[in-house]
A and B are shown apart, each in its own frame.
Chain A
Amino acid sequence: MTDIPKIILRFILLVILQVFILDNIGINGYVNPYVYVLFILLLPMETPNWLLLILGFITGFTIDVFTQTLGMHLSATIFLAYCRPLALKLLSPRGGYDFGLNPNLQQMGINWFVTYAAMLIFAHHLFLFFVESLTFAGFFSTLFRSVLSSIFSLIIVVIFQLLSYNNKKIKI
């Protein structure tokens, strides 16, 4: 319960970062990082599934209001929220997760976190870029864009995680 103010603060910071800084970054119209997905990735393990979807809805809607693309980030972020429990299940250690863990780099280690983030970020970006183009006409160009952008987003997400914790505490 004590985490709630922290989560709200993280939401505001990530939206500001996304809308005012990252939306202005890009290379030749191909790469466009979407780091706001980190908000969904870092929600506590015990978050109920229905709440995940609702929070995905709120996050996507907020980004859509700022970027004037009603429905685009909304659908992609809901999809991301839907995929998260599946990814957690896939990556669960033998005997399941300990109670009270957060899926972040500090508590889960760098290998686990990078695998987890890469899977979900790619799912989100692929969905987003196909919804954006609303066609399978330029299939490989869209695929290329999502792969490149995913790599870029993943790098930023990992750097963020490394910066927000004391390095000595991370288990490798």
Chain B
Amino acid sequence: MRNIILFIWRHNFTFLFLLLEILAFLLLFQTNRFHNASFYSWSNDFTGGIYQSISNVVEYTRLKQVNKSLAEENALFKTYQSSSYIELKSPIIFVNDTLLGLQYRYIPAKVIKSTIHKTKNYLILNQGKDQGIEPEMAVVCANGVVGIVKDVSDQFSSVLPIIHKDTKISGKIKKNNYFGIINWQGGDTRYAKLSDIPDHVELLVGDTIVTRGSSAIFPANYPIGTIESFKKPEGDNFYEIKIALFTNFQNISHVYVIKNEYKKEQLELEKLIMSNDD
């Protein structure tokens, strides 16, 4: 017994190292497996305030770009407003609110922090629980899909973008509706990978990829990117497709968080199917 204590004492440096290293890996795996909401909520509140003030300064340098993209978006909206349309025949208009229900509500938010150089990138938005944002909501920008909300605190929320190696988004080819999984494995943030498209489908470089809208997170047909290149690996029945993302993560700043008002209804129905299978 005395020898063991002496042994540990002589190598106290190594033992302390191993102890701290075990602690570090426990923290690492715990936060990977479960959403450690309390830690991230706390650290969001703490660091979010600091990032917000930095972002207030940095934003000035981007105003020109932001104005340009907002102006483009405005032009698009102006095109769709009723005064831009000419009446082809005089119609009888019914307005009946019981026929249409709003499914997707868009909440505007600003990116106050984003990373692009890691394999696990993330964004921080300046809107949180108080503005109605909840985990697992879709995040998009004017050009295309951005990612999915991960954790929320009162004033801030963190987002897993497409360019995080664990993010998987269901996408489909717009022209023929074949669907697959979009995933990013590190490297260049302008490109991602689309898998699970069977090799008998006809593809062309430049085909548009849009969201499938199957998971009650993203609305269907929201643009993601275009096919950059594709190849058929030997001995495999699926294409390997490289897609160029519409969203530019290098200068992303204004985004919308999408709230699906009918999400609960869809999920309950899906749960019912699962429980019937058991």
**Chain A interfacial positions (CB closer than 8 Å to B):** 20, 23, 25-26, 28-32, 49-50, 53, 56-57, 60, 65-72, 74-75, 78-79, 81-82, 85, 131-134, 138, 141
Pick the 3 closest A-B CB pairs, nearest first. A71-B28, A26-B117, A75-B24
**In the complex the two chains form, what is the Cα distance from A59 to B39 in whole Å?**
17
Map CB proximity to A onto B193-223 as digits: 1 under 8 Å, 0 otherwise: 0000000000000000000000000000000
Residues of A within 8 A of B29 (CB): 71
Q: How far is the CB of B83 from chain A (nearest CB, A)?
A: 43
Contacts A65-B47, A78-B21 aside, 5 further interface pairs with beta carbons under 8 A come to A29-B189, A50-B16, A68-B158, A82-B13, A133-B165
If A23-B115, A68-B158 touch, whether A57 touches B20 (CB-CB below 8 Å) is yes
- Can you list 19 A-B pairs with a CB-CB distance of less than 8 A? A25-B117, A31-B117, A50-B12, A53-B16, A53-B20, A60-B24, A67-B115, A71-B30, A71-B31, A75-B21, A75-B25, A78-B24, A79-B21, A82-B17, A132-B120, A133-B119, A134-B32, A138-B185, A138-B186
Q: Which of B14, B30, B118, B187 contacts A132 (CB 8 A)?
A: B118
Map CB proximity to A onto B1-45 as digits: 1 under 8 Å, 0 otherwise: 000000000001110110011001111111110001001100110
Residues of B within 8 A of A65 (CB): 43, 46-47
Instruction: Answer whether residue B122 sits at the interface, using C-beta atoms and an 8 A cutoff.
Output: yes
Q: Which residue of the partner chain A has the closest CB to B115?
A: A23
**In the complex the two chains form, what is the Cα distance from A131 to B124 in whole Å?**
23
Q: Is B28 a contact partner of A131 (Cβ separation < 8 A)?
A: yes
If A20-B54, A67-B115 touch, whether A28 touches B187 (CB-CB below 8 Å) is yes
**In the complex the two chains form, what is the Cα distance from A14 to B238 in whole Å?**
48
Q: Is B28 a contact partner of A75 (Cβ separation < 8 A)?
A: yes
**In the complex the two chains form, what is the Cα distance from A49 to B14 in whole Å?**
10
Q: How many residues of B contact A (CB 8 A)?
A: 39
Instruction: Answer whether residue B268 sits at the interface, using C-beta atoms and an 8 A cutoff.
Output: no
Q: Which residue of the partner chain B has the closest CB to A131?
A: B28
**In the complex the two chains form, what is the Cα distance from A25 to B117 in whole Å?**
8
Q: Is A70 a contact partner of B186 (Cβ separation < 8 A)?
A: no
Q: Which residue of the partner chain A has the closest CB to B27?
A: A71
**In the complex the two chains form, what is the Cα distance from A32 to B29 in whole Å?**
23
**In the complex the two chains form, what is the Cα distance from A25 to B21 in whole Å?**
28
Determine chain A's interface SS by DSSP, over half rule. Answer: helix
If A65-B46, A78-B17, A132-B118 touch, whether A29 touches B24 (CB-CB below 8 Å) is no
**In the complex the two chains form, what is the Cα distance from A71 to B185 in whole Å?**
21
Q: Which residue of the partner chain A has the closest CB to B14?
A: A82
**In the complex the two chains form, what is the Cα distance from A29 to B191 in whole Å?**
12
Q: Which residue of the partner chain B has the closest CB to A83?
A: B17
Q: Is A70 a contact partner of B20 (Cβ separation < 8 A)?
A: no
Q: Which residue of the partner chain A has the closest CB to B184?
A: A29
Instruction: Answer whether residue B116 sits at the interface, using C-beta atoms and an 8 A cutoff.
Output: yes
**In the complex the two chains form, what is the Cα distance from A28 to B185 in whole Å?**
13
Q: Which residue of the partner chain B has the closest CB to A137?
A: B185
Q: Is B119 a contact partner of A66 (Cβ separation < 8 A)?
A: no
Residues of A within 8 A of B46 (CB): 65
Q: How far is the CB of B52 from chain A (nearest CB, A)?
A: 13
Instruction: Answer whether residue B270 sits at the interface, using C-beta atoms and an 8 A cutoff.
Output: no
Q: Which residue of the partner chain B has the closest CB to A26?
A: B117
Q: Which of A23, A29, A32, A81 contacts B188 (CB 8 A)?
A: A29
Residue of B28, B30, B116 contacting most chain A CB atoms (<10 Å): B28
Residues of A within 8 A of B26 (CB): 71
Q: How far is the CB of A160 from chain B (nearest CB, A)?
A: 20
Residues of B within 8 A of A32 (CB): 117-118
**In the complex the two chains form, what is the Cα distance from A83 to B12 in whole Å?**
15
**In the complex the two chains form, what is the Cα distance from A74 to B117 in whole Å?**
19
Q: Is A29 a contact partner of B40 (Cβ separation < 8 A)?
A: no
Q: How far is the CB of A153 from chain B (nearest CB, A)?
A: 13
Residue of B13, B26, B117 contacting most chain A CB atoms (<10 Å): B117
Q: Is B21 a contact partner of A69 (Cβ separation < 8 A)?
A: no
